[in-house]
Amino acid sequence: MTRKKSRKINENAPKRPPRTKKEDRVVTGKKQKSGNKAGSRHNEKQIQQKQSGTAQAKDPRHGSKKPVALELPTKAPVAKQPKAPKMSDEQKLLKLEEDPRLNKLLDMLEEGRDLNDADQAWLEKQLTEIERLMDRLGITEEDDLEHVMKTTVGSDDDLLDKFESGADLLKDYQDKD
């Protein structure tokens, strides 16, 4: 048998209120529910559309269409690349003059072939850059021709003279030590 709770209380326990009869009790109605009725958003929308005559509005229940990344982005260590030292004007000029594409296009022009528009534009751009660098360095075409003439030798006698003078210079250098 289960133990039955008694209403008798000892002295230290809290007092319970006395029982009231059913007739004496105040009947309170159902608890008032807060919020709208179930399905109210559907009904409100239909009512608004009928009244205002607007086209179908967006459904407020639908969230953003933006895709959500499901994986955390991983941060790859970014290796700092050492900055290349800036090239001097002389180095830039040498690099431009040694460009194989430039040489190939110049050879084609010397042969009398026609270049397409893209190649022609690129060639003109490179040549203007070379001229700009030469002006900046103070090099003229006359200086360039003199340098070429000095490096080329006219005859065997000139070569022999150059060789003999080089031998004299070598002896002078050895004597200084």
Whether pTM exceeds 0.95:
no
Q: Which residue has the higher pLDDT, 107 or 42?
A: 107
Q: What φ, ψ does residue 33 adopt, rounded to 5°?
A: -85, 140
Is 50's pLDDT higher than 70?
no
pLDDT tens digits for 130-142? 888 888 888 776 6
Q: Is 133 exposed, middle or buried (0-12, 13-18, 19+ CB in 10 A)?
A: buried
Provide the pLDDT for residue 57: 54
pLDDT tens digits for 110-123? 898 888 999 999 99
